[in-house]
Amino acid sequence: MTDIARDAQQAEGNGAPAKLATRLREQILRGIFQDGQRLPSERQLAEDNAVSRGTVREALRLLEQGDFLSRKRGSGSYVTYPAEQGGPEREDVAEITSPLQLLEVRLALEPQMVRLASRNMTARDIAGLEEALRNTEAAKDEEIFSHWDKIFHLRIAEGTRNPLMITMYGQINHVRTHDLWESIKGAILTPERIRQYNAHHREVFDAIRRRDPEAAVACMNNHLLLAQQDLVVSPDDGAG
């Protein structure tokens, strides 16, 4: 056995599956792998992470135990976070929650979320948040903007370092993907409104980066109040 192979084998004996599971879980939480998306093959994951396929299989088993993915024989591994957490009740809540009710919950939760994120985000968290911000700013249509907008807000939730807050925001993002919102977002997310929302995102980001929780709270409130106003007076209602 070569020295390189021996070192690799020793590394894999020292918690390599758990380390890989943590890395993949972080990628799922950051939206790199989306709910319902098929993960790369075991061979590809092994090559990308310089580990054995046995390590990959064990890491996937750990993620499956944590309800982050499901494995289908002959098909592969699919992300199930956050949509399958909570079972049928999640779908029931999404069915009966109106966009205005969703905004009421966001107004109650997200100001506290940015307050905690301003205090707890690491430099790496802030870099991830900036990546999401740049993608929202570069979005050319409402579909791409909406995709990265959800990731931007989820990364703020992750930055709180509070597992319950992250789970609660996963539920919010799930409701945001429901048909009730999908049916109206095209009318609301005009190019001008997207520019305004992005300006708000930039203000929230700058406040978090400055470690200024009160400014972050004020910016987030301003952002969500505008979103609430857009729902009350929809462009389809002839209000301009």
Q: CA quadruple 110, 105, 167, 181: dihedral positive or negative?
A: negative
Structural domain spans, the chain: 3-79, 88-237
Fold (CATH) for 88-237: Four Helix Bundle (Hemerythrin (Met), subunit A) (1.20.120)
β-strand pairing of 76-79 with 69-72: antiparallel
Tokens of 124: 């790496």
Q: 3-79 and 88-237: same fold?
A: no
90 pLDDT more than 60: no
- With 0-12 / 13-18 / 19 or more C-beta atoms within 10 angstroms meaning exposed / middle / buried, residue 231 is middle
Greater model confidence, 145 or 4:
145
> Which pLDDT value is given to residue 12?
43
- pTM metric for this prediction: 0.65
Q: Identify which of 82, 60, 80 has the alpha carbon closest to the alpha carbon of residue 69.
A: 80
Average pLDDT over residues 148-158: 91
Tokens 């301009």, residue located: 240
pLDDT in tens, 24-46: 987 887 777 877 788 999 999 99
> Do residues 216 and 201 lie in contact, with contact meaning Cβ atoms separated by under 8 Å?
no
CA atoms of 63 and 77, how far apart (whole Å): 10
CA atoms 53, 54, 59, 65: torsion sign:
positive
Check whether 168 has a pLDDT greater than 50.
yes
Residue range 110-114: mean pLDDT, rounded: 97
Alpha-carbon gap, residue 108 to 86, rounded angstroms: 21
Mean pLDDT of 137-154: 90
CA distance 12 to 18: 10
Beta strands in 117-213 (DSSP E): none
Q: Which of 62-66, 79-83, 225-229 has the highest mean pLDDT?
A: 225-229
- In the predicted structure, residue 83 carries a pLDDT above the cut 80: no
Mean pLDDT score, 195-211: 98
**3-79: what fold?**
Arc Repressor Mutant, subunit A (1.10.10)
- Sign of torsion, CA 130 149 121 70? negative
